Amino acid sequence: EKHEEAAQLLFKGIVQSYCQANNIVVNREVNLGRGSVDFTFSNGYRQRALVEIKKLHNGRFWNGLSKQLLSYLKSDECKLGWYVVLRYKDGGLSKRWATDGPPYVRSLAKKHQVQLNTVTVDARPKASASKL
């Protein structure tokens, strides 16, 4: 398991070349007044997105979406947000996110009149193919 910062650096390393090739500016840890959003992406002013990355078992996981990301979207007057969920463990919150997450995200998006998207990265340890 890695710290969120390690996951953020890996994410930036993966998207950097794609963004350069497509004239998209990506910035990490941009302070939007209420704190730092993990990433901003822009292709001009009208085409912008904010990305927040959070471990699923982080004690502030739900706040990352309902408080942090929504606050950053409002501060930046941005309408598109992505919440990247890192799943390192089974059970508990993982099951709750799978069932409660999608309807919760839809209700937040509707209430705040923004487009919210989520993606879950399955980072749980896998058995080696040589041991199958």
Which tokens in the block code for residue 109?
Answer: 């998006």
Residue 91 has pLDDT above 80, yes or no: no
Stated as kind and residue range, the H or E segment containing 111 is helix 93-112
Task: Output the CA torsion sign for 11, 16, 22, 27.
Answer: positive
Residue 132 has pLDDT above 80, yes or no: no
Q: Is 32 left (phi over 0), alpha (psi -120 to 50) or beta?
A: alpha
Q: Give the burial string for 72-92 (b: 16+ CB within 10 Å, else e).
A: bbeebebbebbbbbbbbeeee
Digit-coded pLDDT (tens) for 23-56: 999 999 888 777 789 999 999 988 999 999 999 9
Digit-coded pLDDT (tens) for 55-68: 998 888 888 899 99
**What is the Cβ-side half-sphere exposure of residue 114, based on CA atoms within 13 angstroms?**
25
Closest residue by Cα to residue 80 from 28, 33, 39, 121: 39
**What is the Cβ-side half-sphere exposure of residue 85, based on CA atoms within 13 angstroms?**
23
Q: How many residues does the chain have?
A: 132
pLDDT, mean of residues 77-98 = 89
pLDDT number for residue 71: 93
pLDDT, mean of residues 70-90 = 93
Are 115 and 109 in contact, with CB atoms under 8 Å apart?
Answer: yes
The structure's pTM equals 0.89
Higher pLDDT, residue 81 or 129? 81
Which tokens in the block code for residue 45?
Answer: 């002013």
